[in-house]
Amino acid sequence: MNLSIEIGGFLKRTKKGTLLAAPCDVYLDEHSNVVQPDLVVVLQENHSMVKDYIKGTPDLIIEILSPGSYHYDTGKKKELYERFGVKEYWLIDPATQEATGFELKGKYIEIGRFNGKISSKLLSKEFSFES
């Protein structure tokens, strides 16, 4: 919750984009690649894809890991996001407060691992989520 407040406030103040939170369907294509990320950022220049859902590739996605979603978020979803061109992808483990970020450079390259925060290259800003 803290992270969505931080990012949402920043995007509103700077008018850089929009933050959407689950449940929000993201249609990566016209076929069967529909996901519901925990947090989604769409930059202002891509805002036309935002409806009650997102049709297209968001700029930044954040997944909050849970025991039931861990393998899906770190495997299948990560592969989908990479293939469809999500520029930045973050995985957050709420149990350890560790965040791992990936930047798309043809393939995902790890940005780094942080405790209690993410350091977004795309937004050029750090966001804290410590409880």
CATH of the domain at 34: 3.90.1570.10
Q: How would DSSP label each residue in 5-67?
A: HHHHHHHHHHT-EEEEESS--EESSSSS-EE--SEEEEEGGGGGGBSSSEES--SEEEEE--T
Structural domain that includes position 34: 2-128
How many domains does the chain divide into? 1
The CA distance from 47 to 18, in Å, is 8
Planar angle of CA 1, 102, 12, nearest 5 degrees: 40
- Contact (Cβ atoms closer than 8 angstroms) between residue 122 and residue 66: no
- Render pLDDT for 24-46 as a digit per residue (tens, 0 to 9): 999 999 878 999 999 999 999 99
- Render pLDDT for 107-123 as a digit per residue (tens, 0 to 9): 999 999 999 999 999 99
